[in-house]
Every structure is written in C-alpha cells, then in structure tokens.
Amino acid sequence: MKITICGMPGAGKDTIAQIIAKKFKLKQYSVGGFRRKMAEERGMTLAEFNKLGETQDFTDKQADAWQKKIGETEDNFIIDGRTSFYFIPDSIKIFLAVSPEQGAARILSAKRENEKVKDKKEAIKMWHQRMDSDTKRYKNLYNFNPFDKKYYDFYLDTSNLSIEEVFAKVYDFIKSKK
C-alpha cells in the first residue's frame, strides 16, 4: 500500500501521517522534513528556501527525485508532501485542507525550529506566503496547482476537527481502499 498526503500548511499532514504509519505498520516519509533539512544545511528557514525555489528549481527537483524513487522502489509506506500525489501516481491520494486562521494557529503551537513566528498575525502571513510560493513553484515546474481537489481520492477540511476526528475519517477511507 502506498499512501500520499498533501495539504495546506497546518492541516495536520505530518501528524496524520505518523498515526497512519503506526496503525498500518507503514514506513513514513516527509517531503517537508527533507526540504527543511535542505534549508537548514544552507542556513536558511523553510520560507527563505521556498522563496529561493521560485528562481532556482533544485530546491524542489531534489525532493521530487527523492520521493519519485521511493514510489518506484518501495511499497507499504506513507509520504506527506505537496507533489507526492504526482510523483507516486499509484498511491491512495489524500488531501487535508485548513482555514488560514486555524492552520496558522497550529503552526504557531507546533513551534518548529525553522518556522519561528512570534504571533498569530505573523503566522497567518507566513501561511499565505507558503501557499503562494508553493502554488507558484509547482505551476512553473509542473503546470499544476497541488491544492486543487481534482488530484485526490479523498479531500478533507480539518479546520473544525480534532486530530482524532481527522484520523478516524482518513482511516475509514484508507480501509475502504484496501
């Protein structure tokens, strides 16, 4: 079983991927984690790295080649990333949406080391910048918008759901596909 999860910033991709990986005993990968590591190696924040990617495509192409290879050589995994559905077309494709306000609140509470924001207003601004940058980069590179519902088998707005509710809905969908 191959599962790809895409979603908006703060929608719960990483958390749900972790829970699903444990429940189904799958290996877990994170394109965001891969890209954060690339950014850190260059002394950059993820936002700075994303901005660089608007003019230098290696920032995405390396991550995309990495996930494509996983999709071609492995089975029984879950991967979360904006383009995973595209590079692993034989996967169960899940999308998690979230409102800017709720996504920003979750980002703020996660306190990731390279996504430092001081308040909710700044987190909302960062949320919009990430959405805009991702949309621009993938439109330029691959001529698609990864936030378009049409690419996914299952689309869920997590804005008003607890992590347990999100997990239950995603789990039920995956079970229906097995």
**What interhelical angle do 31-41 and 13-24 show, nearest 10?**
120
CA distance 77 to 87: 14
Q: Between these two residues, 35 and 118, which has the higher pLDDT value?
A: 35
What domains sit in the chain, N to C, each tagged with a CATH number? 2-177 (3.40.50.300)
User: Contact at 8 Å (CB) between 163 and 15?
Assistant: yes
- pLDDT at 50 exceeding the cut of 90: no
CA distance 27 to 178: 17
- For residue 119, the model assigns a pLDDT of 81
Q: pLDDT tens across 23-32, in order?
A: 999 999 999 8
CA distance 99 to 55: 28
List the alpha helices (DSSP H) in the chain.
13-24, 31-41, 46-53, 58-73, 84-87, 100-110, 120-142, 163-177
- pLDDT at 114 exceeding the cut of 60: no
Which residue bears the tokens 């029984």? 76
- For residue 112, the model assigns a pLDDT of 61
User: Contact at 8 Å (CB) between 97 and 158?
Assistant: yes
Lowest mean pLDDT among 45-54, 91-100, 162-171: 45-54
CA distance 151 to 84: 11
User: Tokens standing for 51?
Assistant: 């901005």
Over residues 75-82, the mean pLDDT reads: 96
User: Tokens standing for 77?
Assistant: 């995994």
CA distance 120 to 16: 23
- For residue 109, the model assigns a pLDDT of 82
Q: Would you call 63 exposed, middle or buried from its count of C-beta atoms within 10 A (0-12, 13-18, 19+)?
A: buried
- For residue 115, the model assigns a pLDDT of 60
Over residues 126-134, the mean pLDDT reads: 90
Which residue bears the tokens 């904006």? 82
Over residues 72-91, the mean pLDDT reads: 96
